Structures are given as structure tokens and as C-alpha cells.
């Protein structure tokens, strides 16, 4: 059984069909890239999978269960975590609390434990703190744990967003343009980071990206969208030689010279 199976997913915004007959099958442990020109509907697909917007039609089966109609927080609780294209950290909260806020899902204490700071509260909070620090350690953010998240440099903010997503202990991680605004060295480092966490946390990763270096390097399979539809699918090699893809990106008749 595939981990995620999206079938005939459509989304209309008024008269505009933002996503049309989108389909996707992901096996556990895969890294799939989702590419396409601006406005192709990639982020809309993410928003549909995470439940932030309801689809017009179609189904999203995750671990055998249809996610359509579930509120976002329940979808997240089932193991779908994401990052955002325009970083959406909790800016005025500390780096540590950004991670801890998400770990609260697994807190296991009740209102009165929190109100009275009971022994059970202390025990569980200790565990939450330890887990959060583990994640920050993996991301090399321990030294900044007390700083407000908004004060971190750009690259650290991207990594914190990934740490926060990992706090959900997800099965499926959706990364929305994680390399946006990064220089080639940072992109190379990020590519390694994604590989590293994929192994360490046994993730399945779906990544939207414009930086072809990252996509070609990282992904085993690539899905290309344009105007809300899938126009091509295949391995990085197949995609980079597909005339339809080149047309979508560069216009009719374009050829990439190999050097």
C-alpha cells in the first residue's frame, strides 16, 4: 500500500481551475520533487493535502485513510508535516518554544496539571524539553534556543521550520521551496540536510523547489505541473530531456545545451 495516494484532485477558485486531476502515489521512503513554473498550482496541492483549503473534488488517501474533510490539525496529527514557502515561524516566541509548541501534541498532561504545575506536569515537560533540545541539536540550533525565532538569520529560520515540522514526528514531510533565496553553497548544504533527516527520521519527502540543482540531486522522481495539470513525470534524467517540460519553462522550441 502506498503511503500517500492522491486521486483526481481538483481545486477551483471561482472560475479558475488551480489544480486539475492531480494524482500522485508515494511509497514509504521516497523523495519526490514537485516542480513547475510560478502559478502552476504546486503550493495549492500542499494546501490541499494539509487541509488548509478544501478540494473541489478528489481524494487524498494517507495510510489507507481519506484526509479530505479533516481539519488541518488532525491531518498533522496523523503524520503530515510541512514548511511554508514564505517562512511562517512563530516569530516572537523563542527558538525552543517554536519546537515545543508543536510537541504539545504529545504532552499527555491535563489542564489541571498545567494550572498547578503538578509532578506529572514536571515529568512530561521535562520530556518535552529534552525532545525539543534533541531536535535543535540535530539542526545545530542549540546555541540560539533562547533567541526569538524572528531574530535568526535566514538559513537558520529555514532549518528551524524543518525542526518544528519534525517535532510532529511525521511520516510525510512536505517542503515548500526550502532553498528559496539561498546561494549555491547553502543549497548544497540543505540538500545534504534533507537526505540526513530523511534517513534519521525515516521520512517520506515531497519537495517543491525551483532550484534545479537541489531537485535533480535529491529526488528519485519528479512531477512537473503547469496551469494546474501534471504535464510530465519521471526520473530527473527523463524530466530534464522532456520537450514538454522545456516548453513550459522556456517556451516552444527551446533546447538546453549540455556542457
Positions that interact with another protein (CB under 8 A): 50-52, 71-73, 76-77, 81-82, 84, 88-94, 96-97, 100-105, 107, 109, 111, 113-117, 121, 125, 128-129, 133-134, 137-140, 142-143, 145-146, 164-165, 167-168, 188-190, 192-193, 196-197
| Cell numbers 545545451: residue | 257
Give the span between the Cα atoms of 228 and 246, in whole angstroms: 17
Residues 6+ apart with CB under 8 A from 155: 182, 186
For the bound state, the minimum distance from the C-beta of residue 177 to another protein, rounded and expressed in Å, comes to 15
Q: How far is the CB of 72 from another protein (least distance, A)?
A: 4
CB 230 within 8 A of CB 33: no
* Beta carbon nearer to another protein, 134 or 247: 134
Expressed in angstroms, the distance from the first to the final Cα of the chain is 41
Q: Kindly state the smallest distance separating residue 75's Cβ from another protein, in Å.
A: 8
Nearest-approach distance from CB 94 to another protein, in angstroms? 8
Per-residue cell: 214: 537541489
With respect to another protein, which residue has the nearer C-beta, 192 or 220? 192
User: What's the rounded Cα separation, in Å, for the pair 154 and 152?
Assistant: 6
- When the beta carbons of 33 and 170 are compared against another protein, the nearer one is 170
d(CA 105, CA 94): 18
Residue 176: closest CA among 212, 205, 209: 209
Q: Which is nearer to another protein, 175 or 232 (CB)?
A: 175
Closer Cβ to another protein, 128 or 223, answer by number: 128
Residue number with CB closer to another protein (191 or 230): 191
Q: How far is the CB of 56 from another protein (least distance, A)?
A: 20
Computed on alpha carbons and rounded to an integer, the radius of gyration of the chain in Å comes to 19
| Minimum CB distance to another protein, residue 154 (Å) | 16
Closest CA to 7 of 47, 60, 46, 53: 60
Amino acid at each position: 500500500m502506498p503511503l500517500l495516494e492522491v486521486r483526481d484532485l481538483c481545486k477551483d477558485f471561482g472560475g479558475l481551475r488551480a489544480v486539475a486531476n492531480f494524482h500522485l502515489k508515494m511509497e514509504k521512503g521516497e523523495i519526490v520533487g514537485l516542480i513547475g513554473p510560478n502559478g502552476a498550482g504546486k503550493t495549492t496541492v500542499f494546501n490541499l493535502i494539509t487541509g488548509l483549503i478544501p478540494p473541489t473534488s478528489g481524494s487524498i488517501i494517507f495510510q489507507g485513510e481519506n484526509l479530505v474533510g479533516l481539519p488541518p490539525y488532525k491531518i498533522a496529527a496523523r503524520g503530515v508535516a510541512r514548511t511554508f514557502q514564505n517562512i511562517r515561524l512563530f516569530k516572537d516566541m523563542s527558538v525552543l518554544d517554536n519546537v515545543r509548541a508543536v510537541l504539545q501534541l504529545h504532552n499527555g498532561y491535563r489542564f489541571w496539571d498545567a494550572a498547578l504545575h503538578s509532578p506529572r506536569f514536571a515529568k512530561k515537560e521535562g520530556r518535552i524539553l529534552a525532545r525539543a533540545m534533541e531536535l535543535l541539536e540535530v539542526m545545530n540550533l542549540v546555541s540560539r534556543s533562547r533567541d526569538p525565532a524572528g531574530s535568526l538569520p535566514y538559513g537558520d529560520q529555514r532549518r528551524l521550520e524543518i525542526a518544528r515540522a519534525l517535532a510532529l514526528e511525521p511520516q510525510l514531510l512536505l517542503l515548500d521551496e526550502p532553498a528559496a533565496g539561498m546561494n549555491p553553497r547553502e543549497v548544497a548544504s540543505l540538500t545534504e540536510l534533507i537526505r540526513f533527516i530523511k534517513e534519521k527520521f525515516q521520512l517520506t519527502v515531497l519537495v517543491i523547489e525551483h532550484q534545479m540543482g537541489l531537485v535533480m540531486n535529491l529526488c528519485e522522481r519528479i512531477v512537473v505541473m503547469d496551469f494546474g495539470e501534471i504535464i510530465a513525470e519521471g526520473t530527473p534524467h527523463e524530466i530534464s530531456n522532456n520537450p514538454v517540460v522545456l516548453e513550459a519553462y522556456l517556451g516552444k522550441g527551446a533546447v538546453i545545451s549540455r556542457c
